[in-house]
Amino acid sequence: MLLHGVLESEHSEKIDNATCCRALKITALTALNDGDVKPVKSETKSTGSVLPYVGVASLGAILFGYHLGVVNGALEYLAKDLGIADNAVLQGWIVSTLLAGATVGSFTGGSLADQFGRTKTFLLDAIPLTVGAFLCATATNVQTMIIGRLLAGIGIGISSAIVPLYISEQKKIVEAEKAIKTLYGEGKVAEVMADLSASGQGSEEQDAGWFDLFSKRYFKVVSVGAALFLFQQLAGINAVVYYSTSVFRTAGVASDVAASALVGAANVFGTMIASSLMDKKGRKSLLTTSFSGMAVSMLLLSLSFTWKALAPYSGPLAVIGTVLYVLSFSLGAGPVPALLLPEIFASRIRAKAVALSLGMHWISNFVIGLYFL
């Protein structure tokens, strides 16, 4: 009877340990992969070692913004130099060829990331970006300019697909170690971290194929991701970015520099606010606020040009409406989709699902850039 009690006690202890171990793995792996555990304040001073990684992630956004907006103020002068000042169609192609290339690059980026890894894909991406920029800078005819914009677009498309993956997959080691220390004590941290690393590597699923994205298991979430970028572009933000100087000139603002500066400042200011509210208010709240603000701004902008009673004030109202529109966009519709996609996609479909969603982004972007003129 006594022996039976001892064996039963040992059996219960094993079950409790196994249960605790499973709970520990779930908690720590969640911290490693998703970052749900609250960050721990580090007692050590920052050495700046994270800056190179931040820089790598930022380069894609910098190049993206530069190539998208660089033709805004320069399009009129480029058209004169290339002899197409009276050809709005070719001007539209100079703007939109970048986006056609970005569409190709975004679809290619997911496959390259799965095959070569994120870092090597970044290095390969430098080739079309460098060659494209050189051709654009030295172009003496429309054909060379279009080829340069196409190559630059391919590079931008690849980077737009890789950067969200790169950021989302940085493992949160400190948070995982904190969870282990809380559950098992400091002495078990190294041992359990090694065990988690080994088990995580062994449990990875095979990367999904393109057709898997349309299976019943993944179709709904992939549709949500693609729709986010479709609505982002159909809201018309890039029509404002590409042709804001023309819109401002129509409203009586003669300075191209002032127009670009106002749009850029509103974008930066709104993004800074969004970055501070992203985790506090949540993605959905920012998206709702952003799209609502964009709708109100567009209403103000349209009324300033169509309502006769506002004709004397159409210029200032158009400027205010445009700036508020860009500000509203940068509060949510701009930064949230790219951040949200890696969070809603399973790891085995993440690269290709992000690429597909960004492909929708670039296709709609291309149509807007080509036909808005």
pLDDT the model gives residue 322? 86
What are phi and psi for residue 267, nearest 5 degrees?
-65, -45
* Number of domains the chain is built from: 2
DSSP string, 345-371: S-TTTHHHHHHHHHHHHHHHHHHHHHH
Whether residues 30 and 179 fall in one domain: yes
In contact, 320 and 263? CB cutoff 8 Å? no
Q: Is residue 137 part of a domain?
A: no
The label of the residue with tokens 């390969």 reads 124
Q: Is residue 149 part of a domain?
A: no
Q: Is the pLDDT of residue 187 over 80?
A: no
CA 83 to the chain's CA centroid: 36
**Cβ density class 289-317: b for 16+ within 10 Å, e for less:** bbbebbeebbebbeebeeeeeeeeebeeb
Give the pLDDT mean for 229-237: 85
DSSP 211: G
In contact, 235 and 299? CB cutoff 8 Å? no
Reported as a pLDDT band with limits 50, 70 and 90, residue 331 is: very high
Whether residues 187 and 258 fall in one domain: no
Q: Which residues contact 321 (CB under 8 A, 6 or more apart)?
A: 297, 298, 300, 301, 304
As to burial, measured by CB atoms within 10 angstroms (0-12 exposed, 13-18 middle, 19+ buried), residue 61 is middle
Task: Record the tokens describing residue 234, joined without a space.
Answer: 């159909």
Q: What is the distance between the alpha carbons of residues 284 and 271, in angstroms, rounded to a whole number?
A: 16
Q: List, for residues 100-148, the tens digit of each pLDDT value.
A: 898 888 888 877 877 888 778 888 888 998 899 899 989 999 999 999 9
Q: What is the distance between the alpha carbons of residues 179 and 182, in angstroms, rounded to a whole number?
A: 5
Reported as a pLDDT band with limits 50, 70 and 90, residue 53 is: low
> What CATH code is carried by the domain that includes residue 287?
1.20.1250.20
Q: Is residue 223 part of a domain?
A: yes
Whether residues 255 and 323 fall in one domain: yes
Range of the domain at 187: 2-35+171-200
Q: List, for residues 146-182, the tens digit of each pLDDT value.
A: 999 999 999 988 887 787 776 666 555 666 677 777 7
Q: Is the pLDDT of residue 269 over 70?
A: yes
Would you call 83 helix, strand, or coil by DSSP?
coil
Whether residues 186 and 275 fall in one domain: no
Q: What is the distance between the alpha carbons of residues 60 and 44, in angstroms, rounded to a whole number?
A: 30
pLDDT the model gives residue 64? 73
Whether residues 225 and 295 fall in one domain: yes
C-alpha closest to that of 274 among 262, 283, 265, 263: 283
Please state, for a pLDDT cut of 90, what percent of the chain lies above it.
14
Whether residues 30 and 176 fall in one domain: yes
Q: Which residues contact 326 (CB under 8 A, 6 or more apart)?
A: 237, 240, 241, 263, 266, 267, 270
Q: List, for residues 6-23, the tens digit of each pLDDT value.
A: 334 444 444 344 444 444
Q: Is residue 116 part of a domain?
A: no
Q: Residues 202, 203, 204, 206: is their CA dihedral positive or negative? A: positive
Q: Cα–Cα distances in Å, from 95 out to 146, 291, 366? A: 9, 25, 9
CA angle, residues 342, 345, 346, in degrees to nearest 5: 115
Whether residues 188 and 227 fall in one domain: no
Reported as a pLDDT band with limits 50, 70 and 90, residue 32 is: very low
CA 337 to the chain's CA centroid: 6
In contact, 264 and 62? CB cutoff 8 Å? no
Task: Record the tokens describing residue 68, joined without a space.
Answer: 């998208």
Q: Is residue 354 part of a domain?
A: no
In contact, 355 and 106? CB cutoff 8 Å? yes
Q: Is residue 186 part of a domain?
A: yes
Q: List, for residues 243-262, the tens digit of each pLDDT value.
A: 677 767 776 767 767 777 88
The label of the residue with tokens 């690849």 reads 158
Whether residues 179 and 243 fall in one domain: no
Reported as a pLDDT band with limits 50, 70 and 90, residue 24 is: very low
In three-state form (DSSP H/G/I as H, E/B as E, the rest C), the secondary structure along 2-20 is: HHHHHHHHHHHHHHHHHHH
Largest CA distance in the chain: 101
Q: Is residue 66 part of a domain?
A: no
Q: Is residue 207 part of a domain?
A: no
CA angle, residues 201, 207, 212, in degrees to nearest 5: 145
DSSP 215: S
Whether residues 226 and 186 fall in one domain: no
